[in-house]
A and B are shown apart, each in its own frame.
Chain A
Amino acid sequence: MSLQNIKTVILLMFENRSFDNMLGHLSFENLQPDADGILPPLDQDKYTNLYQGGTYYPFQRPEDQQLQSDVPHEYNFVATQLAPGADGQPTMSGFVEAYADFTGANPNIQADPMCFFESKEVTITSFLAQKYCTCDRWFCPLPTSTQPNRTVAFCGESAIFETKTQAIPDKGNIFDWLDTNGISWGVYHDGFPFFALYPGLWDKILLSGKFHNYENLGTDLKNNTAPQVIIVEPSYQDAPHIGPDHPNDNHPPLAVGWGEDFLRRTYQAATMNPDVWAQTLMVVYYDEHGGFYDHVPPPDFNNVAAGNAAPPAPYAFNTLGPRIPGILISPWVAPGTVSHDVYDHTSVLQLLAELFTPGTPYSNAVANRTAQGIASISSALTDTASSIPPPPPPSDPIFAKTLLGDSIASPPDNDMGRSLEAAALNMIAQRPDDIDANFPLLNNWKAAVDQARQGS
């Protein structure tokens, strides 16, 4: 593998899509037959989901439109989705049942969790998956929701097991690890950073000077002034929105067109300077499956032994979470290939340790996961660089058809939204001077929210 050739790592984590939802079309359309996606016919036993005697199968989403609601993905719903069989192994047959439980309504015959996109709806994701390395065994680390999975992604372990309005412990966080090891880093955020949910990281966000507006990413990469490790944050649907900012994190019910455009801009930034690109690895992944169907059962895994909190009985974190889309984009991956190695989000932390602290694992928690079979994404790197210049992404305009129903006049109706909003309000209350210096527009957002909700 070519670790010495990687000088810049770009991490872009989207929200809430399963592998089959975004990349199942690779095999269905025969674009990348080696990828373990959806295969025709769609009404195969192995894809069957069950609800009250009815059978439900994957279907192609005809258009990229906003869904009518979110799709469930908290730990109790994930347990229903995995639907252990008589032998205790996941059957992946409970996605429609979980959706019916969540919505309280009779599910449609083509129920939203069973949909998958055709390549024409996810042009940039599909393009990158076909041109670079698709990972078809990348599972989210925990069979639960956003906050715990993102915490494992950026801390290596999680002291929480569900998403709710809470301050999240940051033990093992990537920023301390990078600082300790003298590695330069930066966060380029297109909206309010997810990391605000960790009070222990507020100094990093507000004082370090390493949290940058996303619009600077292209300039910094072009001028070769970007840090070694770059975390790119989309604008989160659940977060407070400032000015004309539009969510582009792909979190349902959002249409994915906005995220596709964001992905294109990030890829264009990464490839802007040939010298930088020649030493860059860009990782595109998702925090968790978002409640969307995936046909590959996650393997057994002892998450408690790996240092993570687990929910009360009868729920158990004895598997990884469902598969998510993972794409490795670099001159140092074989073009148009598929990695079948088992990855989770700590595979990225493994790579960072191999790059910057060779011989020393990122942490004991990550080492525990490695010992249980989680590979480093370095396993997909090659010894020789591709001599092909980075292919330009499709340039067609992307039309996101949204059916926005909410505004700041209504408080968030879910725990992630409430959490991020509470973090923003607490930051404003507790660190007003730093907010003025770093996020002045957040004050405008608060004023607008306060006014909009008076008397509502």
Chain B
Amino acid sequence: MKALKTLSIMGFALLLAACHPRIYQFSVDPKSIGPNDPVRVSWQVKGKATLLIHDINYPGSGNVKLQPLTLQITQDGKVNSFMLYPDSTLKILLAGEDSLRVDKKPDSNTDDRLRYITLVVTRNGQDSSRVIQVAVRPDAAKDEIAFRTIIRGDSIVAMGINNPVRWGDAFNIQTVSDVSNRVMDIVHSNISQQLRPGDPPDNSFNGTPVRGNWVFRSLMTAEEKNDHRLVPNFLKLSITIKHH
């Protein structure tokens, strides 16, 4: 009887140890795409995997009701089409291979979207999840670049690498605009240009990648030199981007 009880407990323990859902790896690339670009989704999990796809308006792009669209999912060599309606979530059971491709049926849709791609893994009543967002931008869109400031001599400098993972290669700069309300010297892709507040959008950087090194430099005002609390925490550019 005691042996039976021990065996039962051990069996229960083995069941507990084995019942754990796991996400070993989950990736979606690229993170920013044009309206008709594909993304590749890959995963390594223990458990039953489900992919959820849900679109919302891109943050800051307004609340225009998104248009329904057709997504084509290529998995295990088969292509299936699904309608993705606004305010709905597409649910795809994953099986077989550990990756799939999501394309959009080409159309003239120009919605500015943020796509939530969620991997949910269930096993014995438990679940685990990961979310990766993909920016689905129209052929031309607005965005921002900003870096923290440091003081160098009589200037404020903001510089850094604009996130290559977030931006990838799908978009180039079209125009840049000064929204920090001060004269700024901008350096990017071996091009230098001075921007002034109120000037029309500048196209000096047209065709350069959004990602990569940027330097913003601006002279401190007399008030800022006397009181560093007046120095802005960051300098920001408004940009228009173009899909290529």
Residues of B within 8 A of A109 (CB): 59, 114, 133, 135, 166
Residues of B within 8 A of A406 (CB): 20, 126
Q: Contact: B127 with A454, CB < 8 Å?
A: no
Say yes or no for B129: interface residue by CB 8 A criterion: yes
Q: How far is the CA of A190 from the CA of B145 in the complex (A)?
A: 48
Interface string of A45-69 (1 = CB under 8 A from B): 1001011111101010010001010
Q: Contact: A87 with B160, CB < 8 Å?
A: no
Apart from the given pairs A53-B161, A83-B233, A108-B132, 17 other A-B contacts in the complex at a CB distance below 8 Å:
A48-B236, A51-B163, A53-B147, A54-B163, A59-B59, A86-B149, A86-B151, A86-B233, A91-B233, A93-B233, A108-B133, A109-B114, A403-B128, A409-B13, A409-B16, A452-B13, A454-B10
When the two chains form the complex, which single residue of B9, B129, B149, B163 contacts A403, counting CB atoms closer than 8 Å?
B129
Q: Contact: B17 with A455, CB < 8 Å?
A: yes
Q: Contact: A86 with B17, CB < 8 Å?
A: no
Q: Contact: A52 with B13, CB < 8 Å?
A: no
Residues of A within 8 A of B16 (CB): 407-409, 448, 451-452
Chain A proximity of B132: nearest CB distance (Å): 7
When the two chains form the complex, which single residue of B20, B59, B151, B229 contacts A89, counting CB atoms closer than 8 Å?
B229
Q: Contact: B231 with A87, CB < 8 Å?
A: yes
Say yes or no for B78: interface residue by CB 8 A criterion: no
Q: Which of B1-36 contact A (CB under 8 A)?
A: 9-10, 12-14, 16-17, 19-21, 31
Q: Contact: B59 with A110, CB < 8 Å?
A: yes
Q: Contact: A407 with B148, CB < 8 Å?
A: no
Residues of B within 8 A of A447 (CB): 9
Q: Which of B121-156 contact A (CB under 8 A)?
A: 126-133, 135, 144-151, 156
Residues of A within 8 A of B229 (CB): 87, 89
When the two chains form the complex, which single residue of B17, B133, B148 contacts A50, counting CB atoms closer than 8 Å?
B148
Chain A proximity of B34: nearest CB distance (Å): 16
Chain A proximity of B30: nearest CB distance (Å): 11
Q: How far is the CA of A241 from the CA of B166 in the complex (A)?
A: 40
On whether A106 and B161 interact (CB within 8 A), knowing A87-B229, A405-B126, the answer reads no
Q: Contact: A86 with B228, CB < 8 Å?
A: yes
28 A-B pairs (CB sep. < 8 Å)? A43-B59, A50-B147, A52-B162, A53-B160, A54-B145, A57-B59, A68-B129, A83-B233, A85-B231, A86-B228, A87-B229, A106-B163, A106-B166, A108-B133, A109-B59, A109-B114, A109-B133, A109-B166, A110-B114, A405-B20, A405-B21, A407-B20, A409-B13, A409-B19, A451-B12, A452-B13, A453-B13, A455-B17
Q: How far is the CA of A85 from the CA of B132 in the complex (A)?
A: 30
When the two chains form the complex, which single residue of A48, A68, A405 contacts B131, counting CB atoms closer than 8 Å?
A68
Chain B proximity of A53: nearest CB distance (Å): 3
Q: Contact: A93 with B148, CB < 8 Å?
A: yes
Residues of A within 8 A of B145 (CB): 53-54
Chain A proximity of B4: nearest CB distance (Å): 15
Say yes or no for A404: interface residue by CB 8 A criterion: yes
When the two chains form the complex, which single residue of B31, B120, B234 contacts A93, counting CB atoms closer than 8 Å?
B234
Q: Contact: B163 with A53, CB < 8 Å?
A: yes
Say yes or no for A180: interface residue by CB 8 A criterion: no
Q: How far is the CA of A313 from the CA of B60 in the complex (A)?
A: 39
Residues of A within 8 A of B233 (CB): 83, 85-86, 91, 93
Chain B proximity of A90: nearest CB distance (Å): 10
Q: How far is the CA of A57 from the CA of B236 in the complex (A)?
A: 14
Residues of A within 8 A of B114 (CB): 109-110
Say yes or no for A456: interface residue by CB 8 A criterion: yes
Residues of B within 8 A of A225 (CB): none
Say yes or no for B165: interface residue by CB 8 A criterion: yes
Q: How far is the CA of A85 from the CA of B131 in the complex (A)?
A: 32
Q: Contact: A52 with B163, CB < 8 Å?
A: yes
Q: Contact: A407 with B144, CB < 8 Å?
A: no
Residues of B within 8 A of A395 (CB): none
Chain A proximity of B107: nearest CB distance (Å): 24
Residues of A within 8 A of B82 (CB): none
Say yes or no for A387: interface residue by CB 8 A criterion: no
Say yes or no for A430: interface residue by CB 8 A criterion: no
Q: Contact: B146 with A53, CB < 8 Å?
A: yes
Q: Contact: A86 with B13, CB < 8 Å?
A: no
Q: Contact: A86 with B150, CB < 8 Å?
A: yes
Residues of B within 8 A of A89 (CB): 229
Say yes or no for A4: interface residue by CB 8 A criterion: no
On whether A52 and B17 interact (CB within 8 A), knowing A86-B151, A87-B229, the answer reads no
